[in-house]
Amino acid sequence: MNFEFLEIAELRQLLDDKKVSSVELTKYFLQRIKKSDLNAFITVTEDEALKEAAKADEFIASPGENPLLCGIPYAAKDLFCVKGTRTTAGSKILDNYVAPFDATSISKVKDQYGVLLGKTNLDQFAHGSSGETSAYGPSHNPWDVERMPGGSSSGSASAVAAGLSPWATATETGGSIRIPASFTGICGWKPTYGRVSRYGVIAMGSSLDSIGAMAYSVKDLAILAGVLAGRDEKDSTTGHQDVPAYLKNLNTDVKGLKIGVPKQYFIDGMEAGVKEKVTSAVEELKKQGAEIVEVDLPNTKYGSLVYAIVCPSEVSSNLARYDGIRYGHVTKEAKNLLEVYQKSRAEGFGNEAKRRILTGTYVLSAGYYDAYYKKAQKVRQLIVNEFAEVFKSVEVLACPCAPSVAPKLGKAAEDPLFGYITDQLNIPGSLAGLPALSIPCGFAKSEDGGEAQLPVGLQIIGPQFGEQKIFNVGHAYQQATDWHKKHPVI
């Protein structure tokens, strides 16, 4: 029996019915990983995975109900600390770092006897939207290996899309879940900021980082949200709101629901095929009885500019801890303490990390803080207020995730403005801390001359802590379509 591309609920039923064991399931996916040439994983935890699977089988054999994730394999983006496991953040400066503790999200999955297959590839410290800044080489898109899977959660997207793992953890600061989910034809959930604990996840931008997941359906994501979400005393930014029963409350009734379509999100430079598929997806929701309303978000055009100041500033602060003293890479060439700092960082950080450190340090320096950082935060608040006002008249927003299908590998290095238009579609929601989904809504040809039909993603954005709303709209769309059931031939 083939187990790749089965949804979490389907795997749960097979395990509960004793039609397959967790050990068998784990061996199946480990074998697929070994045969893959997508470079989706940095570290494969085969021995530990088989031990965890055996424990899950013991639990399943005992009386009582099994947790939803019990015995089901998964992958973790290599920003997530896993006790006793190498955790690199895609950077040589952490090449041999072994985490001494678990991230809260990993602990929650372990509590359910989930089985970790390994750590997935990513842009170094999540700096990038293509996956190409990884110190371990880029991951490849399983729909066309000459194309990028998107970043920074490139390995997680590639692994799930290729059937190497049923689901994967991911993180997003400004599109790092939605973009790769769109490019690889899977479902991605970027939660409300503070809905899921950031504890134990290597930081990029502390006021922006959100911890989410990738899977095959919105139903899968609702299951995962119910496990991962919630207050954590180890992370003061997590919200105190109760976690709804996302899965139990899933429904397909969108009749009379007001869905906003922001006109600023259908921008110049968008591929015609992408625009057509997203427009068709909105029409499908209209057929189901939703009321489609055009909305205006004029300040979102400043989102990329605000992000270009706020994010590097927080990167500069967060990466200061990698100094060659406490942990991580230490140079062998230093003659004094100053050279330990200088050479360890020069050798360990990649070019993109260095660029962001320099930019952020400059912006935060005396004489420039008020002119740049403080002003950027004021514009950020305008964007927050604008979204809040729009959500007084509509329940969710529907729009594209990206202006194109997956570009070819190398595009990011060739084009200094690569990702700018994509950022305009993703960053405003991140700055406002809003929850969002990317779900497959069709296929289109790239306008760069490629012949392959590649996935297109529909983005659904909700108000803060409005996960249930976006899950319901996404689920309603997937009950009427089968785009999420299309998979690459591997």
Question: Would you name the residues annotated as active-site residues?
Answer: 77, 152, 176
Q: Helix, strand, or coil here: 139? A: coil
Strands 210-215 and 453-461: unpaired
- DSSP H/E element including 72: none
Choose among 102, 468, 127, 182: nearest CA to 307.
127
In degrees, rounded to 5, the angle at the alpha carbon of residue 477 between the alpha carbons of residues 196 and 227 is: 20
Nearest-angstrom CA–CA distance, 230 and 387: 24
Question: Which strands make up the sheet holding 291-295, listed edge to edge?
Answer: 41-44, 115-120, 73-77, 168-172, 210-215, 187-190, 436-445, 453-461, 396-400, 258-262, 291-295
- DSSP H/E element including 244: none
Query: Alpha carbon of 216 to those of 77, 160, 418: distances in Å?
Result: 17, 8, 28
CB atoms within 10 A of CB 111: 12
Nearest-angstrom CA–CA distance, 123 and 152: 5
Write the DSSP assignment of 152-196 as a string of letters. Answer: SSHHHHHHHHTTS-S-EEEEESSSTTHHHHHHHT-EEEEPPTTSB
Residues facing residue 170 across a β-bridge: 212
Radius of gyration of the chain (CA): 21
CB contact at 8 A, 461 and 429: yes
Which 8-state DSSP code applies to residue 267?
-
CB contact at 8 A, 314 and 204: yes
* Token duo for residue 174: 């400004």
Q: Who contacts 301 (Cβ-Cβ below 8 Å, separation ≥6)?
A: 264, 424
CB contact at 8 A, 115 and 72: yes
* Token duo for residue 211: 């911890």
Q: Helix, strand, or coil here: 378? A: helix
**Span between the terminal Cα atoms of the chain, in Å:** 16
Nearest-angstrom CA–CA distance, 281 and 480: 10
Write the DSSP assignment of 415-475 as a string of letters. Answer: -TTTTHHHHHHHHHHHHTT--EEEEEEEEEE-TTS--SEEEEEEEEE-STT-HHHHHHHHH
Taking every pair of Cα atoms in the chain, the longest distance, rounded to a whole number of angstroms, is 71
